[in-house]
Amino acid sequence: MSTKEITLEALNPKEFIDAQVKAIREAVGDDVAINALSGGVDSSVVTMLGHKALGDKLKTYLVENGLMREGELERIAEIFRGLGVPVEIVDEREKFFAALKGVIDPEEKREKGITQVFYKDIFAKLVKDSGAKVLMQGTIFTDIEETAAGIKRQHNVFEQIGIDPQEAFGYKVVEPLIELRKPAVREVARAVGLPPEISDRPPFPGPALCARVIDEVTPEKIDLVRKATTIVEEELAGVDAFQYMAILHSDQVTGIRDGKRDFGRQIEVRCWDSADAVTATPTDVPFATLRKIADRLTSEVPGVVSVTYNIGTKPPSCIEAV
């Protein structure tokens, strides 16, 4: 690892923003840059920095992958348009679900279902059509650490894992946040004018709800886990936690409904206390809140008969199950 961290203590957000704006302008030159916005704090800050540096020379795309949360795409587009940042929505749902068909292994899901489709099929085309020579990405310091440690292959760290993106996918990558951990990114988010809805947003994985379905991902399963996610996020919004989520298991368990046997689905709820996702402990959520979540999940999400709450730590667990 050659990249050095800028700690939260060492960070001067205003100076950081000025330096990055300058660096982005230098890297892009007379070219056009392109970036994908997911609405997470990382890609949001990159969008703002890029917009500050390049104005109309930055093309920002919101890719509808069919894997995002309820109303998420529309809300993100609304926020950025409100900030004067032009974003374009590209509907690519069919491509993602086609690529995810039959894929069970988590790494293969990320690699085949997300990385390959996103970069090779979708982004490469957007780059070509836009004439952009530079891709801006929201890679942060923790991504490189975990990738280097072999824990998870992130979809946005080509350079760090030794793949030349210029050669591999036909474009150049600029990563303005690569020296920061999440708390520092949030500080920059506030300083760059993003609303708390974005700057304080709990982390959400790159592969989106795809990371919340164990085994094969189908539109039907995404629909179930999306409903579950809405409920879990509503009920845990008031809890002081690092991140919370609903995971749809593949294992089916025995249930009973209207007096008859019902072999149904299980949702696992995770809620983490953590500073930076490197280590994490489960949040001591009031039991009444957990019970309410379980009751809502089993009555509002079709086919769900069982609900669990994660009680293990990271390590040896990870934040996400997939």
Which residues are near a second copy by CB under 8 A? 106, 149-152, 214-215, 249-251, 253-257, 259-264, 268-269, 281-282, 284, 287, 290-291, 293-295, 297-298, 304-318, 320-322
* Residue number with CB closer to a second copy (54 or 280): 280
| CB contact burial 152-175 (16+ within 10 A = b; e otherwise) | bebbbbbbbeeeebeeebebbbbb
Tell me the CA end-to-end span of the chain in Å, nearest whole number. 25
From residue 305, how far is each of 82, 132, 235, 236, 300 by CA, in Å?
Answer: 41, 49, 19, 21, 11
Would you say 77 and 89 are in contact if contact means Cβ atoms under 8 Å apart? yes
- Coil, strand or helix at 51: helix
Q: How many C-beta atoms lie closer than 10 Å to residue 238's C-beta?
A: 8
Nearer to a second copy among residue 64 and residue 215 (C-beta): 215
Give me the least distance between CB of 291 and a second copy, in Å please: 6
Closer CB to a second copy, 82 or 288, in the complex: 288
Give the residue with the Cβ less far from a second copy, 112 or 249.
249
For the CB of residue 228, give the shortest distance to a second copy in the complex, in Å. Answer: 13
Let me know: does 266 contact 304? Beta carbons within 8 Å: yes
Q: Which residue bears the tokens 């894929």?
A: 103
What is the smallest separation between the CB atom of 19 and a second copy, expressed in angstroms? 32
Dist. CA 142–CA 15, nearest whole Å: 22
Q: Which is nearer to a second copy, 4 or 261 (CB)?
A: 261
C-beta closer to a second copy: residue 162 or 316: 316
CB of 167 to a second copy, least distance (A): 26
Minimum CB separation of residue 154 from a second copy in Å reads 12
User: Least Å distance between CB 84 and a second copy?
Assistant: 39
